[in-house]
A = this chain, B = another copy of it.
Amino acid sequence: MARPSRRDTATGATATTRTVRRGESHDRAAGASAVPAVLDRCRALVRPALEEAVGRLHPWVSEMAAYSFGWCEVGGAPAVASGGKGVRQALAVLGAEAAGEPGRAGVAAAVAVELVHTFSLLHDDIMDGDADRRRRPTVWRAYGTGPAVLAGDALFALAVETLAAQPGGAAGVRTLSVALGDLVRGQADDLLFADRPWTGPERVRPDEYRAMAEHKTGALLGCAAALGAVLGGARPETAAALDRAGRHLGVAFQIVDDVLGIWGDPGVTGKPVHGDLRERKKTFPVLVALGSPMGGRIAALLESGAATDTAAALIEKAGGRAAAMAEARRHLAAVETSLAGAPLATEAAQDLRSLLEYLVRRDV
């Protein structure tokens, strides 16, 4: 449920192809070692089950779902646009493999988390009033607000049904329901942050932001990584370690996204220079800088909406950028610590690490 349009740019970014050490294992094609190939492999594994699930929906709702997955255009014609990279489904498959299961043991989990992710995008786009996603009108703009609310509800219900139908699905539903609760909590905080003052005792503190990011972005990533393992019958400690890793990843990802939203290269991010400052977003580097002695001046600049160059320079001078990068690094280290403490299958864990790195290490 994080700032959706930018997140998609990020997960859809063309990464430098890095070769990752790995060998052979079940469900994996030899040589598919780079991260894009891992994403492709997981997508191919999950797609039939995801299509089958979406195909069980009411035809109208099914079309809205297929549109948001990038499978079709409005009216049902084959899609020209491409969908998301499928990061969450890949985490679910790799999580199952890392817990010693075959990748197919993670498929139901992958379907559930992709459905929940899409539900949250549909509803967040309504809440945030976002008009476009992946260079197409958002579902509420293409089909209307009411239908978009309904389609989100249908995807949510389908995710629960998918998990509940699994053997051992009770534990899976419990894992998902914790993430869902956190997702909503994070979105509520994020919506309320917009109304809080820039300075003074009511201002948003960096630690509140961190909690929001963990809930809004990290909870579903953690759930994705853990859920395949949970359904595969992994030990609770293993699932908990994967969940923790995903949550830290979410915070790191969000904060890197914040840095890119101010200082990122528009040619890479697809976003205007200082876009987040223009939109007066209370992002991590901004919140850190507001707490500095320069906070009052920065607040006045942000409030006016003008001179974003000066504001960006002041935020950097106040230590906002450096603090954000340090914070992101701390959470990446925590990802590593979480994974290192769990008894994971070496090769799958390596794929998982590569994927996590791929998501966060962008040109910042």
Q: Does A58 contact B (CB under 8 A)?
A: yes
- Interface contact A150-B123, CB-CB below 8 Å: yes
Q: Known contacts A164-B173, A173-B170, A180-B157: does B188 contact A60 (CB below 8 Å)? A: yes
A185 to B161, CA, bound (A): 14
Copies in the complex: 2
Shortest C-beta distance, A141 to chain B (Å), equals 14
Shortest C-beta distance, A185 to chain B (Å), equals 5
Tally A residues with Cβ within 8 Å of B: 41
Shortest C-beta distance, A170 to chain B (Å), equals 4
- Interface contact A180-B160, CB-CB below 8 Å: yes
Query: Which B residues touch A192, using CB under 8 A?
Result: 60
Q: Does A181 contact B (CB under 8 A)?
A: yes
Partner of A188, one of B58, B177, B188: B58
Q: Does A269 contact B (CB under 8 A)?
A: no
Query: Which B residues touch A150, using CB under 8 A?
Result: 123, 127, 184, 187-188, 191
Shortest C-beta distance, A113 to chain B (Å), equals 14
The B-contacting residues of A in range 152-192, CB under 8 angstroms, are 152-154, 156-158, 160-161, 164-165, 169-170, 173-174, 176-178, 180-181, 183-185, 187-189, 191-192
A185 to B157, CA, bound (A): 11
Q: Does A12 contact B (CB under 8 A)?
A: no
- Interface contact A58-B157, CB-CB below 8 Å: no
In the A-B complex, the 8 residue pairs with the closest CB atoms: A127-B146, A170-B170, A157-B180, A161-B177, A58-B188, A164-B173, A154-B184, A164-B174
